[in-house]
Amino acid sequence: MNIPLSHFEDYIDETILRRGLSYFKKGQVHEPEEIRTGEYEAIVDGTEDYTVRLTIKNDVITEHVCNCPYDLGPICKHVVAVIFYLQQDELELKQKKVPAKPDALKKTRKRKTVAEQVDELLEKTAPDELKQFIREQTVLNVSFRNLFLSSFSQHNSDESRGFYEKQLKSILRSAKDSNGFINWSQITHVYNAVSNLLESAKKHIDNRNFKSAFFICTAIMEQMVDALQYADDSSGEIGGSIDAAYEMIYIIATSQSSEDIRKLIMDYALSAVDKKIYAGWDWHVDMLRVAAILLKTEDEIERLYAALDKELISEYNRDEAQSIKYEIIVKTKGEKEAGEFLEANISNPKLRRKAIQLALAHGNDSKAISIAQGGVDFDKKDKPGLVIEWYDWLLKIAQAQGETEKIIDYARRLFIENFRPEQDYYAILKQHVALDTWVAFVEEVIKDIAVKDRFYNKEQIAEIFIKEGWTERLLELVCKSPDLRTIGQYETYLSGKYTAEVVDLYVNALLEYMKNNVGRSHYKEACRYLRRIIKLGAREKANEVISFFRTEYRIRKALLEELNNV
């Protein structure tokens, strides 16, 4: 999320703003340092000391990161506190005069950046002093030691995957509690340490030290997959580190590396599949995909085929294995045999998709239509999602051929049935349906949607009313389900013409909401909608509701506290 410095308050939740301002006013923000041009780092005192990093370009915050565990919104109070620090002159938070030409970062920009300071020290420090410093830090600081060893591992004669596994086991061991579990509060510690190793792997790839990068990445994958069994990865950071490591392995596999590296990765991929190191995860099939990229010899082809034949147990693995086999046949035997393999396994959606693409690429529209229609017939009983995809292919072909009747038929079907459209089917319909029949056509579409038993019917019909500008009917629809979420969802489209009605809907919904919900999170939610009523210009109505709540729920202390913030 990009945040303009000049009006950052508009982009941040009021509660988070208030807390960040409190942190700043209490002096909990240490003066930010400019790490590189436009990149700032600051320590904020909290439950622990948290590190905030901001990237600022043209007075816009383009990136913000904090290592605190907050995950309930896009920005935390520590980041906000640092923003207030940078903007203190403009906001007169210290009663200073506003400069004629505000420059929020004037104070920090006068100093040398951290990068410039480091470069200056490196130039002036003797090599022996640097070596001694590094020796001392590798003894005292485990994180630094791991980063140093992994960054220059290509010079280590003892380098192996085990070398990195020891580092990772040490990282994981230090994060475990007394029961051997890594809870969510320690996951960030693990992730930051693993990120350092990933960064080292990336640098090795950039320098074409592929062996070092491969050892790091495979060690990360194996140790982190194991950690998923005893860690709370609700944040997805462990899984994300495995994905990042795999992506680097894929990059190495597709690079013009030496024969030794090719064989090293090939053998590892097949061995990992055989040992089921990643069984039950997508990374298991991903290893087969890497092997398919690298294979050269007949022996390797046979080994990979044998491994793929073992993947026919689940439908997902079968489809993936067949897809990989197809790529192998294209690579080793040519398009004719590959085409025969497609025909023989056309029920595989990946291969059906490929067959449609090939038919269109060869200008054979009729074959593409036949394959797509075959998909509709084959999958209509059990896989409605795939049926939608095949109809979308039929629509694309009809569009290319300019067949208006088919375009309308397919686009109508896709608009009604597809909640996550690939194209704007409504716009396609409006473009092709005759103007004098459009309203009647739309009414029939609304009827067809209304009779379906689906949770998103209301949203779909509301979308039509919005596109057609039928605000009175949109209001009627909202009145049928006048809960806070629904009113808020369509407030923008109704407030201009029906502000009073929207306010009344909010008031009634709030009264009902408070009857049925207890707890601070619900009180905050209610107050959020009270602020929306005020923004609609109905301060008196909001005050009436607040007064009623104070009287009716006078024993709910948390509610009274939240009402004070409205």
Provide the pLDDT for residue 3: 87
Q: Which amino acid is it at 34? A: E
Residues 495 and 466 in one domain: no
Q: Based on the fold, state whether residues 42 and 74 are members of the same structural domain.
A: yes
Give yes or no for a contact between 441 and 426, defined as CB atoms under 8 angstroms apart: no
Model pLDDT, residue 147: 66
Closest CA to 387 of 360, 416, 407, 408: 416
Considering only CA atoms, which of 142, 163, 141, 162 is closest in space to residue 152?
A: 163
Q: pTM higher than 0.75 for the full model?
A: no
Are 546 and 533 a contacting pair, CB within 8 Å?
no
Q: Calculate ∠ Cα 318-323-326, nearest 5°.
A: 125
Secondary structure (3-state) at 51: strand
Q: What is the DSSP string of 254-271?
A: TS---HHHHHHHHHHHHH
Contacts of 377 (CB under 8 A, 6+ apart): none
Instruction: Give CA–CA dist 7/267, Å, rounded.
Output: 56
Q: In whole angstroms, give the CA distance from residue 127 to residue 147.
A: 20
Evaluated on CA atoms 440, 445, 450, 455, the torsion sign reads: negative
Residues paired with 61 in a beta bridge: 3, 56
The answer to whether residue 358 sits within a structural domain is: no
Distance, in Å, from the CA atom of 500 to the CA atom of 486, rounded to the nearest integer, reads 16
- Whether residue 101 is predicted with pLDDT greater than 60 in this model: the reply is no
Domain-ending residue, one of 478, 507, 542:
478
Would the CA dihedral through 211, 215, 216, 220 be positive or negative? positive
- Return the pLDDT at 543: 94
Q: State how many domains the chain has.
A: 3
Residues 114 and 93 in one domain: yes
Per-residue pLDDT tens for 547-557? 999 999 999 99
Mean pLDDT of 74-94: 85
In this prediction, residue 456 carries a pLDDT of: 87
Q: Which residues, in sequence order, are CB contacts of 484 under 8 Å at separation 6+?
A: 506, 509, 510, 513, 525, 529
Confidence of residue 565 (pLDDT cuts 50, 70, 90): confident
| Co-location of 555 and 484 in the same domain | yes
- Select the more confidently predicted residue: 379 or 141: 379
Q: Are 414 and 442 in contact (CB under 8 A)?
A: no
pLDDT higher than threshold 90 for residue 468: yes
* Statement to judge: residues 439 and 501 lie in one domain: no
Specify whether 52 is located in the same domain as 18. Answer: yes
Structure tokens at 144: 């630094």
β-sheet bridge partners, residue 44? 29, 50
Tokens 């398919």 belong to: 292
The pLDDT, as a whole number, for residue 100 is: 38
Taking CB atoms within 8 Å and a gap of at least 24, the contacts of 374-377 are 374/346, 375/349
Q: What is the rounded CA–CA span in Å between residue 536 and residue 35?
A: 44
The answer to whether residue 107 scores a pLDDT higher than 50 is: no
Give the per-residue pLDDT at 155.
62
CA 281 to chain centre: 19
Six token digits for residue 456: 């998103």
pLDDT at 285: 92
Cα distance between residue 417 and residue 390, in whole Å: 13
- Contact assessment for residue 513 and residue 523, using Cβ atoms and an 8 Å cutoff: no
Task: Please report whether residue 550 resides in a domain.
Answer: yes
In a domain, 539, yes or no: yes
- Is residue 504 predicted with pLDDT exceeding 70? yes
Confidence at 99, pLDDT banded by 50, 70, 90? very low
The two beta strands, 39-45 and 33-36, are: antiparallel
Three-state DSSP class for 49?
strand
Instruction: Kindly state whether residues 47 and 88 are assigned to the same domain.
Output: yes
Distance CA 415, CA 547 (A): 46
- In the 3-class helix/strand/coil scheme, how is 369-423 assigned residue by residue? HHHHHHHHHHHCCCCHHHHHHHHHHHHHHHHHHCCHHHHHHHHHHHHHHCCCCCC
User: Domain check: are 7 and 89 in the same one?
Assistant: yes
Mean pLDDT of 520-544: 92
- The strand pairing partners of 57, in sequence order, are 60
Q: Are residues 457 and 558 in the same domain?
A: no
Mean pLDDT of 511-535: 92
pLDDT tens digits, residue range 384-436? Answer: 999 999 999 999 999 999 999 999 999 999 999 876 788 899 999 999 999 99
312 located within any domain: no
Q: Which two tokens stand for residue 463?
A: 């979308």
Q: How high is the pLDDT of residue 69?
A: 77
> Percent of the chain beyond pLDDT 90?
61
Average pLDDT, the chain: 88
Residue 259 domain-assigned?
Answer: no
Residues in the chain: 566
Residue 496 lies in a domain: yes
Which among 129, 119, 169 is positioned nearest to 146, based on CA atoms?
169
Together in a domain, 470 and 487: no
Q: How many CA atoms within 13 Å lie on the side-chain side of 474?
A: 25
CA distances from 218 to 209, 223, 295, 378, 410 (A): 15, 9, 19, 40, 47
Condensed to tens digits (0 to 9), the pLDDT of residues 206-248 reads: 999 999 999 999 999 999 999 999 999 988 999 999 999 999 9
Neighbours of 123 (CB within 10 A): 7
Whether pLDDT at 343 is above 80:
yes
Rg, C-alpha atoms of the chain: 30
Same-domain pairing of 472 and 504: no
Q: Show the domain range for 524.
A: 480-563
Using one digit for the tens of pLDDT, what is the confidence trace for 251-279?
999 998 899 999 999 999 999 999 999 99
Angle subtended by helix axes 484-516 and 471-480, to nearest 10: 30
The answer to whether residue 495 is domain-embedded is yes
pLDDT value at residue 312: 66
Domain presence at residue 164: no
| DSSP-derived 3-state class of residue 40 | strand
* Whether residue 498 has pLDDT greater than 90: yes
Answer with the one of 447, 478, 509 that is the final residue of a domain.
Answer: 478
What pLDDT score does 329 carry? 94
Residues paired with residue 55 on neighbouring β-strands, in sequence order? 39, 63
Whether 10 and 105 share a structural domain: yes
- The set of residues, in sequence order, having a beta carbon less than 8 Å from that of 282 and lying 6+ positions away, is none
Residues 6+ apart with CB under 8 A from 519: 558
Q: Residue 106 pLDDT more than 60?
A: no
pLDDT value of residue 347:
95
Express each pLDDT in 356-387 by its tens digit: 999 999 999 999 999 999 999 999 999 999 99
Q: Is the pLDDT of residue 528 over 50?
A: yes
The number of CA neighbours under 13 Å toward the Cβ of 253 is 24
Last residue of a domain, one of 478, 498, 516: 478
